[in-house]
Amino acid sequence: MKEPQSRLDLQRRNRLGMVEAIWGEHKTTEQILEILKKMQIAGELALVTRVGPDKATKLKEAFDLVEIHSLARCVTLGKFSELKPSLGKVVILSGGTSDLAVAKEAELALRCHGIQVELLLDVGIAGLHRLLNNLEKLRKAKVLIACAGMEGALPTVLAGLVSQPIVGVPISVGYGVSVGGKTALEGMLASCAPGLMVVNIDNGYGAAMAALRILGSELL
């Protein structure tokens, strides 16, 4: 039986202002290559998330134009959007360096769309002074994305200190009940800080697209 063909949403940029992301973890190298070639023919940027190092290497060997972003666990094909400084900057915070892969996924997804991004790593609340020392910088950003594992308190603390929109990203790291990220997710959902937005566990791409929607709403 012939394998089903992929159906790409090539109008998503025109409809929503964002490119379609391709989930790479459960696709074969051949399936991803087929999608990449279709995206190239359509003249659209391709962003493939959750690509392990072995699969990324195979994709690069088969299609030299593919660019590997190892820290973000992603590959891309095509030209990023031109920088749009008028939309403002997004700052991505992480509680620790264990959150780096998710933070880098969010950063890459935003850069694909021409958004200015800055990473602020290792500012978890276990050393609250690290966060407080950066408040002036954070208040200059348009949107903040806060990645945190363990109990996931960073977004709640942040939402009590600054007025910008904040997107919380629970991370699947920690001891005991924290493993898998459910404790961080539930902690963020139960936050007493009004207006805190929360995406699913390890969903850096989803957080980036939430930030993109917020920035784009200023143009409406």
3-state secondary structure 134-193: CHHHHCCCCEEEEEECCCCCHHHHHHCCCCCCEEEEECCCCCHHHCCCHHHHHHHHCCCC
**Residue 220's pLDDT is what?**
47
Q: Nearest to residue 51, comparing CAs of 34, 27, 31?
A: 27
**Residue 19's pLDDT is what?**
84
**Residue 218's pLDDT is what?**
62
CA distance 156 to 113: 27
How far from 137 is each of 90, 91, 109, 141, 210, CA to CA, in Å?
11, 9, 22, 7, 21
pLDDT band at residue 2 using 50, 70 and 90 as cut-offs: low
Annotation: CATH topology of 85-217: Rossmann fold (3.40.50)
Assess contact for 19 and 108: CB atoms under 8 A. no
Q: Nearest to residue 145, comparing CAs of 164, 161, 131?
A: 164
Assess contact for 118 and 88: CB atoms under 8 A. no
pLDDT band at residue 3 using 50, 70 and 90 as cut-offs: low
Q: Quick: pLDDT tens for 59-78.
A: 999 999 999 999 999 999 99
Q: Nearest to residue 157, comparing CAs of 2, 78, 67, 148?
A: 148
Domain ranges of the chain: 12-77, 85-217
Which percentage of the chain shows pLDDT scores above 90? 79
What is the average pLDDT score of the chain? 91
Partners of 119 in the beta sheet?
92
